[in-house]
Structure 1
Amino acid sequence: MPVNLTEVARHAGVSLATASRVLNGSARSPAPDITERVKAAAEELGYVANAQAQALARSTTGLVGLVVHDIADPYFSAIAHGVQEVALQSRHQVLLAGTDLGGEDGTPRSAELAAVTAFISYRTDAIILATSRFLEEDPVLAKNLGRYIQNGGKVVTLGDTSIPGAKVLTVGNFEGARDLVDALVTSGLSRFVILSGPHERNTARSRVEGFTSALERRGLEPLAVVGGEFSSQGGFDATLEFIDTLGIIAGARSTESPLCILAANDVMALGAITALRSRGLRVPDDVQVAGFDDIPTLRDYSPGLSTYQLPLQEMGRLAAGLALAPESALESRVTGAVVLRESAGTPTSALDGA
């Protein structure tokens, strides 16, 4: 039978209330010698504290809910790592939920709502939504989270949201996409196809707007803008959708600027490269490719992918800080840097391999 708190109190020679205050983390702490005596008794008897009792004593559960799209996606795993770093420093554990498999109706929206509902029922101290926000938030989700915030919970989103009372970590997606295009055009490229990702996601839309804004400013326009899922398969399918119509032949000489595929994230870019290879096309010789995010696994791919590098783990740390620091600001912002590698543009010794 597990040792209970009453036995610990008896062994330490203190009241049950005193033992509870020591072991369940109450703000009212007994004298140091009593505290040490209770802890020693608990260790000697092998007592394991009850999480529910601790939550009641502290008015906190020590839990943080984190919602990502795809747990296997290096973008989200890097962010999750940063969240966990800060959570552990503040003695919190992270509950993780993914939305890629869909909820009751098979959609990411319903999966996100189910995850948030579960986190609220577990009385998590904070909920971090690392998934790209939708153009229009689910009204049920927004209502539930608004009530959760009113009851003392903290909500942080990556990107703007209409959820009332939520804190926001703003990511420089528009500016990053614009800077990436500027660097590629400066390197001599002028023909682009954009793999846009899902239009209803704010992240994808902001990046595409950044791409097109930079092109317009230079008197250019994309040859095509092709939608698709924010995944390797989405990049693969979107690339095959347009590549055959352009009549690109492997090894063919052309007086035109090389074609460059601008993918709204790195995993789409990697899917695009796979699709090009399936048509016998080489990167960067026949077609050039650039992504966005600089996910950690890019070091395993050749040629190296040109991209816009976001500080993914730092984004996780900042999001967790917004959620868990008592006096944190309502908003924080991150930007990144262009990284040109072999897949597109001209690599520079200062950035290549960053």
Structure 2
Amino acid sequence: MTTLSRRHFGFAATAGALGLMAAACSSDNSTGGDAGASDAGGTASTVTVEDNNGQHTVATPPTSVVATDNNSFQTLSDWGVSLTAASRALMPTTIPYKDDESIVDLGNHREPNLEAVVAVEPDLIITGSRFSQYQDDFTSLAPDAVVLDLDARDDQPFEAELKRRVDVLGTIFGKEKEATALGEDLDASIARVKAAYDPAQKVMSVIVSGGEIGYSAPHVGRTFGPMYDVLGLTPALEVQGADDDHQGDDISVEAIADSNPDWILVMDRDAAVASEDSQPAAEVIEGSEALKNVTAVTAGHVVYMPDDTYTNEGIETYTEFFGSFADALEATS
């Protein structure tokens, strides 16, 4: 079976340059390159960017940055962005910010300490995902801060939304080239899967949590749902009324087995939020009596997402997983 672990990596970039999203254009004294550069008179530059709530003018470089969006943690960390406060309790151990005591911990989305943001006097708050519900709270607590929400929009192609997020962040932090490279790496990984995948092969996606196997629905299921559209995958099973629950839908493992998928894609939820009853997803899948005769299992066509996926769902995670899936597909051709 194909397994993988979190790592920093670089995929070969596809030819050609990926332009920045039109909504993330530079303005005032910044015209690309280092968005944090000052003009000859020493006045800080600004950039105009657009998020899910409209346009914002951001002074660069930001002097106090707060981050609560788990889709952005990896990018910000890899780019060396200093944070003054963040939802460190939500971060996986693979993110260096997790153990940085100099960063005020705002807690997780269930029991947040939002008021702590006041003390760091932020001029930029990058929120979204699990913290989207606190948008108004942040605006009230830090009225002078730009509050950005770059969650993927349901009415836009998912891969374009992944690239939009890093493009906007790249504009703000003077990392346009790095953002472009991340987009090119994603495109390259998608192209590899599409080239190697035969639509006649049926795909099942599942989430393993607490030793249980949960069905993750095509198109709408958490994490895996968009992949069916992005990669052109053929679902092994489609259920009416499926949702995006974080533990998967309540579909029996026998029903999953009866669909006899050629490939099974797995997210190990507990690997990111381990508890006493955690059991590695590979052990659950391999030890399932119901799945033992399924084509995907007997052929070793089970591909696992990076261990920290549940709390690290940015462009880097998807690119890594698509690359791993492509590796497995290419090995069978």
TM class by smaller structure: 0.3 to 0.5
Scaled by the length of structure 2, the TM-score of the pair is 0.42
Of the two, which has the highest radius of gyration?
1
Scaled by the length of structure 1, the TM-score of the pair is 0.40
| Between structures 1 and 2, the one with greater helix share | 1
Larger RCO (CA under 8 A, 6+ residues apart) = 2
